[in-house]
Copies of this chain bind each other. A is one copy, B any other.
């Protein structure tokens, strides 16, 4: 692909009246050069079992091709038709809350043979029909696939076989999972109880891992079918999504994104984020960094918001800011979900690029300017290669284990800790990748690895991290890291177990703080921010240097935050839940020591800097103003050309960014 893709999800099937020509006219006016179609409308394309009707696909393909708009075909398998459920009720996933019932999308047992049979048939019918159509540039398999909690009889049986394969003997399983506790031992395979009611976190987490594998397998299976038809210049992608806290937030608990992305040609993702006064760019950056890391390459934003919720309708300038922020993280596509606002069913509250009146509106008008700039600047901006020296290690296993063994109060979860750290790096303009337990071979690429709450991890991974430090790397751990093994068996050595060597610390007690501070405000965070909440480990340094002690009548002799030189590297350990301010200071210290503190670190949020090399090897630097006020900064790099205005910019020049404004510098 040699052009930036600016797209919309398009549902001809949902249109209240014949609109295709008018829609295309309006798309062209806005520079839309891509639509994604067909991923939600199985019941239209197969109105009855074995009766196919691809009229809407055909006509949209032809019309788009005529207009020079590319098309991504989605396999329509994430929402099943009524006839299938009536004929084969077993396609609905049985979950721990009971049997499924028809209505919503994403309610299937993705292991059901009936579902798989019909899915394969429609995929083959659809893809074989369209694959040679000149409008089709690629495919999206399914959509936001997850396991939907499926845990019925067949899934349980599959899981028992999986356990048998993995652990060999029940003796081994009983020991590793501690099933003797509360008389949960399984002494015969026939006795294996349904995992739906288990209270054993090891068993529960293993089932969650197994369920994630179901997703990986399902997507790989779809990709393999589509690949049979895929043409040389076409791609296969998938639309991953994140954990949700009113918006895209953190690591997806139900999918192993790294594993599931393996068979894809390009990683795709949807990113939905707060807007208006809450627009910070953090989700765009986090989602982008994670998705770019999946295949260490450019990615597609297959869905993001145009007008969206009533509370997100953007202020003037924000839609532009968002679009270019995606590019700055390495996206080659920005696609809105969706073109028009839907007139029925459940999501009528959600506004597309067009309102329900299907006419122009201020947001659509802003899109026109984006489309023009995308087209004009595509040669310089496409294919941005980003090289980071910092990484955050994220782990599905750690996430699941902290769901089973929640932090006191139940308000803080794994992703909160991930984002506590990520957001600080973002604010300091420290670019980072996301790595995962399977990335062990890649760690030495980084000067700094940040490890949030790695509650469950194998010995191998932790020893690898020790070696990484020994070899000169810098790791920043938070509390809870290293606590349990990969089966969530708590380590029976002094904590934090294996990483205690690199960190130069030990602890055997941990408590919840109440009005605890860090002694003497060691980071100058100020009274209000120098506090500790939710969790504190009573750390005794062995070889570590203590960066912060607790201020407490009984626990003042314990360390809160430590730093230890180990081999050629340094390991920092944050033994308590610190405020964003303190966390930022600890990370800043680590970044400085790791040699990550450069000119872009003179600039701070709300000014955000992103940079990389374009396909021609030129350096591209984006400067974004994530605020409602004007902000000035001194441009610190070499002379260049500001691409939006086509004006030269010189090193050291004071540059003012408008509210929600940005510049893009091509350095000469």
Contacts and interface: CB of A to CB of B under 8 A. Distances in A.
Interface of A: 11, 13-14, 16-17, 40-44, 47-48, 76, 79-83, 85-86, 101-105, 177-188, 190-194, 196-202, 276-277, 307, 309-311, 313, 315-316, 341-349, 351, 355-359, 361-363, 404-405, 408, 484, 487-495, 508-512, 514, 535, 553-554, 628
Contact of A490 (B43, B188, B356, B487): B356
A200 B346 contact: yes
A142 to B, nearest CB: 13
Contacts of A199: 103-104, 345-346
Contacts of A553: 628
A349 B483 CA distance: 12
Which among A185, A313, A355, A404 has the greatest number of chain B C-beta atoms within 10 A? A185
Contacts of A343: 178, 489-492
A40 B352 CA distance: 53
B509 A362 contact: yes
Contact of A200 (B200, B345, B351, B362): B345
Nearest to A355: B508
A14 B178 contact: yes
Contact of A344 (B13, B181, B509): B181
Contacts of A185: 43-44, 47, 81-82
A545 B241 CA distance: 46
Contacts of A363: 509
Given A48-B188, A102-B194, A348-B490, 15 more contacts: A47-B185, A47-B187, A48-B187, A80-B183, A81-B185, A82-B193, A86-B191, A103-B198, A181-B345, A200-B346, A310-B511, A344-B488, A349-B405, A355-B508, A356-B490
Nearest to A92: B197
Which among A188, A277, A487 has the greatest number of chain B C-beta atoms within 10 A? A188
Which among A48, A307, A341, A355 has the greatest number of chain B C-beta atoms within 10 A? A355
Contact of A514 (B82, B180, B276): B276
Contacts of A101: 194, 196-197
A139 to B, nearest CB: 18
Contact of A105 (B102, B183, B349, B554): B183
Given A183-B76, A357-B494, A344 B177 contact: yes
Given A86-B190, A201-B345, A355 B310 contact: no
B86 A183 contact: no
Name the 4 nearest CB pairs between A and B, nearest first: A178-B344, A103-B197, A101-B197, A43-B185
A348 B405 contact: yes
A361 B196 contact: no
Given A408-B310, A490-B341, A181 B104 contact: no
16 contacts: A14-B178, A43-B183, A43-B185, A47-B187, A48-B187, A76-B183, A85-B193, A86-B191, A86-B193, A182-B345, A277-B514, A313-B511, A346-B404, A349-B405, A359-B494, A361-B509
A357 B492 contact: yes
Contact of A554 (B315, B484, B490, B491): B315
A10 to B, nearest CB: 13
A202 B346 CA distance: 9
A342 B181 contact: yes
Contacts of A187: 43, 47-48, 81-83
A311 B356 contact: no
Nearest to A536: B310
A40 B509 CA distance: 26
Given A43-B183, A186-B82, A344-B202, A310 B535 contact: yes
Contacts of A346: 181-182, 199-201, 404
A16 B492 contact: yes
Nearest to A495: B357
A499 to B, nearest CB: 14
Contacts of A535: 310
Nearest to A341: B490
A80 B191 CA distance: 12
A105 B191 contact: no
Nearest to A102: B193
A73 to B, nearest CB: 16
A301 to B, nearest CB: 22
Contacts of A202: 344-345
A311 B512 contact: yes
